[in-house]
Amino acid sequence: MSQSIEAPLETPKVDVFLQELAAIQQSGSKRVAILGSRHVPITHQKLIELMTYALVMAGNTILTSGATGTNSAAIRGAIQADPNLLTVILPQSLDKQPQESRDQLDQVMHLVENSTNDALTLAEASALCNQEIISRCQQLICFAFHDSHTLLQTCQDAEDQRKIVTLFYFD
């Protein structure tokens, strides 16, 4: 008679799984961060805009940054649905943003500038900004390429903080 031995489930993995399951099943509004690449085809931008619009219409609060591409599409979608449910956190001061972004950011009610990061490179400031955004959210939706190091690190950091992470690759 053979006897099978099952390895006990590791408690930390079970805890993480249960927390993620509870977060997914949570009815009601969430704080959803939407981040992604600046280099996004217009058709993908339209999809991101529509998804963000739907998330806001369902009562969710959106957090994003102020860059072109993914973040700009998220801003457009949130503003169309309910501008009060959008918070944009900039990696640096508003003056450091391109004019194209500043025109859109004029419509944002809840805008956070990080002027203390003005002396940093954009990559360094963006990494810090992404950390601030994921610290404030419950869920992260990210649109990236396989070589988008800053965004992929942000996703890993969010997972380490036990956030729900949905990662879409453009390539």
pLDDT given at position 167: 94
pLDDT over 60 (residue 146)? yes
Residue type, 129: C
pLDDT given at position 100: 84
pLDDT average, residue stretch 157-163? 95
pLDDT digit string, tens, across residues 95-130: 998 888 888 999 999 999 999 999 999 999 999 999
Residue type, 121: T
Query: Which has the minimum average pLDDT: 2-11, 33-42, 83-92?
Result: 2-11
Q: What is the CATH number of domain 29-169?
A: 3.40.50.450
pLDDT over 50 (residue 142)? yes
Whole-number percent of the chain with pLDDT over 70: 84
Residues 68 and 97: their CA atoms lie apart, in Å, by: 10
E-assigned strands of the chain?
Answer: 31-36, 61-64, 86-89, 110-112, 139-144, 164-169
pLDDT average, residue stretch 12-39? 73
Residues 152 and 111: their CA atoms lie apart, in Å, by: 24
Long-range Cβ contact pairs of 52-57 (< 8 A, separation 24 or more) = 52/76, 52/77, 52/78, 52/81, 53/77, 53/78, 53/80, 53/81, 54/81, 56/81, 56/82, 56/85, 56/86, 57/81, 57/82
User: Quick one: pLDDT band at residue 14, thresholds 50, 70, 90?
Assistant: low
95 CB contacts (<8 Å, ≥6 apart)? none
User: Quick one: pLDDT band at residue 171, thresholds 50, 70, 90?
Assistant: confident
pLDDT over 70 (residue 20)? no
Contact 159, 151 (CB under 8 A): no
pLDDT average, residue stretch 20-32? 70
Dmax over CA atoms of the chain, in Å, equals: 76
pLDDT over 50 (residue 7)? no
Domain boundaries, the chain: 29-169
pLDDT given at position 12: 57
pLDDT given at position 98: 86
Mean pLDDT computed over every residue of the chain? 88
